A and B are shown apart, each in its own frame.
Chain A
């Protein structure tokens, strides 16, 4: 599967309730050691309840400037949450279904990532 098949998919609960759109896929470079870099695994998906349009990451990085753009972006992607890959039950074309009892987590990136990229 390719990443862009997952981006823009509709995120739904187990009972079919629509939650929003898959905005991004969280990765972690922490898998089995490899030649140069450890294997990179998918740890979760980010869901935006209000917009399917691309994000500049303001809601995940805590950046404030330029103020007007930051506020607009935060408003567009208000309520964005992270769902761990363990809580994903099924991936269909254009649709990702979460398990019953899935957990909505804080979408904020760790400090190390925010400072590095």
Chain B
């Protein structure tokens, strides 16, 4: 650690321009709600744009950005290792996120997203075939 400067207030002059979050602490595993506060999924992983493996990052390069929330098989991959093929990943584009607090809120309806296809399929093909499964309890 000979070349590194160790400082507690080196960043004191730079005030963050927006909300500051730690990805693991504040975003991973949080519930995702749609614009009607209906649960959609949870944040299993995030896709980052702008990081090229093995390539030198030139000083002054634009920083990486968060491009999508990943869900579906991604949780098992995160826990046990490995990678799901990109085609199998279920992604919610980050541009649809409206707010990040104790939950992640989207600005769109969850019915329009691929992330809910399993629930929609089960609802239509399994629950819907049970007598009384297509309407509220009376």
Contacts and interface: CB of A to CB of B under 8 A. Distances in A.
Sorting the interface of chain B by its residue count into under 10, 10 to 19, 20 to 34 or 35 or more gives 35 or more
28 contacts: A1-B47, A1-B64, A2-B70, A3-B48, A4-B45, A7-B24, A15-B3, A25-B48, A27-B21, A27-B22, A30-B17, A35-B96, A37-B99, A39-B66, A40-B65, A54-B24, A55-B24, A60-B22, A86-B60, A90-B55, A91-B57, A99-B59, A103-B6, A104-B6, A105-B11, A113-B26, A117-B101, A117-B102
A52 interface: no
B3 A101 contact: yes
B77 interface: yes
A43 B63 contact: yes
Given A27-B27, A104-B7, A106-B8, A116 B22 contact: no
B65 A42 contact: yes
Contact of A91 (B24, B26, B46, B51): B51
Given A30-B17, A42-B48, A60-B22, A92 B54 contact: yes
Interface in A5-57: 6-7, 13-15, 17, 19, 23-31, 34-43, 46, 54-57
Interface residues of A, number: 62
Contacts of A43: 16, 20, 63
B65 A113 contact: no
A57 to B, nearest CB: 5
